[in-house]
Structure 1
Amino acid sequence: MSYKIIVDSCGELTEEMKASGHFETASLQIDVAGHHIIDDETFDQKKFLKLVAESPECPKSSCPSPERYMEGYHCEEDRVYAVTLSAELSGSYNSAVLGKELYHEEYGEKDIYVFNSRSASVGETLIAMKIRECEEKGMAFEKVVETVEAYIREQDTYFVLETLDILRKNGRLTGVKAVVATVLNIKPVMGATEAGTICQLGQARGIKKALVKLVDEVVKNLKNPKEKVLAISHCNCRKRAEYVCDMLKAKAQFKDVVILDTAGISSMYAADGGVIVVV
């Protein structure tokens, strides 16, 4: 059976994934400083970060329309999966589900399933990889869905950012009560709850200590690392990502490691210098 995996653009794709023919990106869009940016292969991170730094206003994002998802489902492949960023953080999941309903009304039955990642960025990347792994093993559609949903429940997301301003101003930190003392250079270590909301796991003074604490949090919760892919995304800070990677590899063996630069939406929320770890 043929298959396609649609990942909204908060999830980064590796070059190998892009070349495989199995993956498609559903682009979100960003408005900042009077510029309307499509989060696709034309996204210029350096230019975007400069616009954000110079703009007094917070950038805003919008998710793909249901019609965009419906178009993605309307293809020659027999089975289609969509992976979206957490439904608690974006309307992308609901849009993808509505697109599925519209497709069925317009074209009839087809095997389509929408995964709520309960994560973002490389969390979505790993889920898309897991779908392909299941498909390549020849699993039945229902078994793919069951296996990947179980995988999502076991997945953990962590991140350290230079600033939480954009997350806070866009209402993505609902329920996070800790006050970060920016004057004292306190950096929070953040994570995702089982529901896909953002929580604070700890904090440290300075980015380097915060990254060490992030690694400690990952290791504390890590189970069966030899069976897992370690995924790290970073916004314009490859050396930080490699620093985190080296610390984690010194403490555990992983099945594989993926390091990616953030695309548009992830760059918007991670901001310059942000690091995201998913395992």
Structure 2
Amino acid sequence: MKLQLMTDSGADLTKALQEKWDVNIISLFVLFGSEQFKSESLTTHDFLARITNTKTFPSSSAPSPQDYYDAFVATPADTPIVLVSVSSGVSASYNHALMGKTMLLEKEPNRIIHIIDSKAASSGMMLLLELAHELKEKDTPLEKIVETLNNRVPYLRTIFVLETLDNLIRGGRLDKVKGTVAKTLNVKLILHASHEGKIEVLEKVRGTKKATRRFVETIGEYIQDTKDKTFGLTHGNDPSRCEQFLSLIKERYQFKKIITAETGPVISAHAGQGAIVMSFFSDKAR
């Protein structure tokens, strides 16, 4: 069917997945002081190296409404658009996309644009985009695709474990004193996207081995049978750590499909080197 899928760079799609699923990417931005870069223009390796070698900690910003308008208007007028946005709980991207849509509809009221708030990021957005692509390939009616995606969002679990708390502390998302105490006590944070799509602490675990074990165990607490499920996993510039987690997950669960990728600069700015982000559809809603 005729349909254009879109997302933003919070989805961390590889070039191969972008092409396979025919997804247009609208780039978020990272800023080092007065310098601004499209997140798509930086590799995660170079971005993290720059953080290490500078006193200026980066911030991120959403695409502007005009950026979304430009992406929408560049799509043929007779082609419906479905855009999967990074969570409105952590970014202005979703609201800016709605504004861009309104701008276009004022000029071209017959356009069809649907914007999905993923309430997630990274691997969670990947799973929604894969689902959208599968439905598109089956010639599913547009209304059914949109309904299915919106209905699946509450069941989408995105959970991540950090190798370091430094980025959260430097970015102001974790109190410096609390962060220093956690580091001193070797506390690892297992975080998740809440029902509102905000980042919250799921568990505090002392020690890397225990944190790894609890991270993997968590899957079984949300899914009884994984055989028909797709699993997403992204990593912060650390493929060997990704493989370690994948090995443990494959030993314990039998997912139908596993999709992996590297976190991009926007997600890496907060999660840091070595972060592992997993997503799956759970049996019960968040």
Query: When the two structures are superposed, what TM-score results if normalisation uses the length of structure 2?
Result: 0.89
1:69–1:96 contact (8 Å) kept in structure 2: yes
Structure 2 counterpart SS, 1:37: strand
Report matched runs for 1:49-64 at 5 Å. Answer: 49-64=48-63
Distance 1:263 1:13 in 2: 9
2:165–2:183 contact (8 Å) kept in structure 1: no
Which residue number in structure 2 is paired with residue 69 of structure 1?
Answer: 68
Distance 1:21 1:71 in 2: 21
CA apart distance, 1:144? 0.7
Judged with a 3 Å threshold, the aligned counterparts in structure 2 of structure 1 residues 173 and 131 are, in CA distance, closer, same or farther, namely: farther
1:6–1:26 contact (8 Å) kept in structure 2: yes
CA apart distance, 1:135? 1.4
Which residue number in structure 1 is paired with residue 215 of structure 2?
Answer: 214
Which structure has more relative contact order (CA 8 Å, sep 6+)? It is 2
Which residue number in structure 2 is paired with residue 121 of structure 1?
Answer: 122
2:159–2:277 contact (8 Å) kept in structure 1: yes
CA apart distance, 1:171? 5.9
2:165–2:179 contact (8 Å) kept in structure 1: no
Report matched runs for 1:32-181 at 5 Å. Answer: 32=32, 35-40=35-40, 42-74=41-73, 75-76=75-76, 78-167=79-168, 170=171, 181=182
1:172–1:198 contact (8 Å) kept in structure 2: no
Which residue number in structure 1 is paired with residue 283 of structure 2?
Answer: none
CA apart distance, 1:15? 3.7
Amino acid at match of 1:206: G
Distance 1:30 1:113 in 2: 26
Amino acid at match of 1:44: T
2:6–2:26 contact (8 Å) kept in structure 1: yes
2:21–2:133 contact (8 Å) kept in structure 1: no
Which residue number in structure 2 is paired with residue 8 of structure 1?
Answer: 8
Q: Which has the larger displacement, 202-211 or 121-130?
A: 202-211
Amino acid at match of 1:204: V
Distance 2:267 2:7 in 1: 13
Structure 1 counterpart SS, 2:91: coil
Which residue number in structure 2 is paired with residue 278 of structure 1?
Answer: 279
2:171–2:270 contact (8 Å) kept in structure 1: no
Structure 2 counterpart SS, 1:273: coil
CA apart distance, 1:100? 0.8
The Cα RMSD (Å) is: 2.2
Distance 2:233 2:14 in 1: 12
Is 2:20 the counterpart of 1:20?
Answer: yes
Distance 1:117 1:17 in 2: 18
Distance 1:212 1:36 in 2: 39
Q: Which has the larger displacement, 215-224 or 113-122?
A: 215-224
Judged with a 3 Å threshold, the aligned counterparts in structure 2 of structure 1 residues 178 and 263 are, in CA distance, closer, same or farther, namely: closer
Structure 2 counterpart SS, 1:139: coil
C-alpha deviations, 1:178-233, integer Å up to 9, x for none?
99611122111111111111222212233333122111112211244222211110
Amino acid at match of 1:200: V
Structure 2 counterpart SS, 1:278: strand
Q: Give the % identical residues.
A: 30
Structure 2 counterpart SS, 1:227: coil
Structure 2 counterpart SS, 1:87: coil
CA apart distance, 1:147? 0.6
CA apart distance, 1:57? 3.2
Structure 2 counterpart SS, 1:242: helix
Structure 2 counterpart SS, 1:225: coil
Amino acid at match of 1:8: D
Q: Is there any run of 5+ residues in structure 2 with no aligned partner, and where?
A: 281-286
